[in-house]
Structure 1
Amino acid sequence: MALSGTYAPSKSEWVRDQVETYEASGGERGNTLRDSGEPIVVITSVGAHSGNLRKNPVMRVERDGKYVAIASKGGAPDHPEWYHNFVAHPEVELQDGPEPHGYTARLLSGDERREWWDYAVATWSTYGEYQKKTEREIPVFLLEPRD
């Protein structure tokens, strides 16, 4: 079942542009972080406070049909806004290619978090650098396909 609501584009110009390019091309363009060559997916979530649909490019970390979303915010001391959306409304849509699909986001802890964190860092080593920049433990969400 698709998410419903009013789409409220990001206030960040690069995020808006990346999402627009990605969606307009069915994932054929705008599919790397700021044209870096590092692959991304677009995740749609429901705003924790507004109830509006929010879309964010997130690094593509996938294994066996499951994805992780790392709430790094570049190593900032606070979580990205989408972290709060995932906690409040764990039903999300993830687009990795032409079509979005439904997923349920679950915040990981303990050994499961460690396993997926290590996999994410192996996929995109910059996450390890982000963790060094902040005192908070960077949250890891596992996104599992809905029926």
Structure 2
Amino acid sequence: MIGVRMVQKVSSTRGFAKVAPHVIPALDRAVHRLTGGRYLLSTQMLPGVILTSTGARSGLPRRTPLACMPEGDGTSWLLVGSNFGRPGHPAWSHNLLAHPDAVISWKGRDVPVTARLLTGQERARAWTALLEFWPPYATYQARVTREIRLFRITEAP
């Protein structure tokens, strides 16, 4: 348990927020590619997916490693647009707003999904669950004036 608390404390620091957006996604992409899609390095801290969305402006496929919170029966996940507590919304969240149909790589399996931005009470309930799951999200929210976007992605039929 001490290891988890230490990771949570480190991931809440400004230094981590400054370095992590550049280092963690690059490492995740490399490990994902080298293991044939079976692993992400960041899953040592949190569950994760590789999101392949369609670029909002370019229309091109965009691959982004993301932490996630699996829900219920394993056919839906929450994605948090925390951007490590940086001011702007992450690009992948703009992509999902423009093109909600996407694909995730989850435990080595490609899963077609549909994304939906959470609002109101639904967002509030999800945010509470996320803070119980990974408390550093509260630190990220405290650093920015924007409301962090939350998406529920659900396996497409």
TM-score normalised by the chain length of structure 1: 0.82
Conservation of the 8 A alpha-carbon contact between 1:66 and 1:143: yes
Conservation of the 8 A alpha-carbon contact between 1:31 and 1:39: no
Moved over 3 A (4+): 26-29
1:32 deviates by: 2.0
**1:40 pairs with 45, 48, 53, which one?**
48
Give the superposed CA RMSD.
1.8
1:60 deviates by: 2.4
Aligned-partner residue type, residue 60 of structure 2: N
* Match status 1:80 vs 2:85: no
* Match status 1:52 vs 2:60: yes
Conservation of the 8 A alpha-carbon contact between 2:52 and 2:102: yes
In structure 2, distance between residues paired with 1:29 and 1:77? 29
After superposition, where does 1:79-118 map in structure 2 within 5 Å? 79-118=89-128
**1:62 pairs with 66, 70, 80, which one?**
70
TM-score normalised by the chain length of structure 2: 0.77
After superposition, where does 1:11-22 map in structure 2 within 5 Å? 12=22, 14-22=24-32
Higher helix proportion: 2
The alignment covers a number of residue pairs equal to 134
Query: What are structure 1's unaligned runs of at least 5 residues?
Result: 1-11
Query: What are structure 2's unaligned runs of at least 5 residues?
Result: 1-21
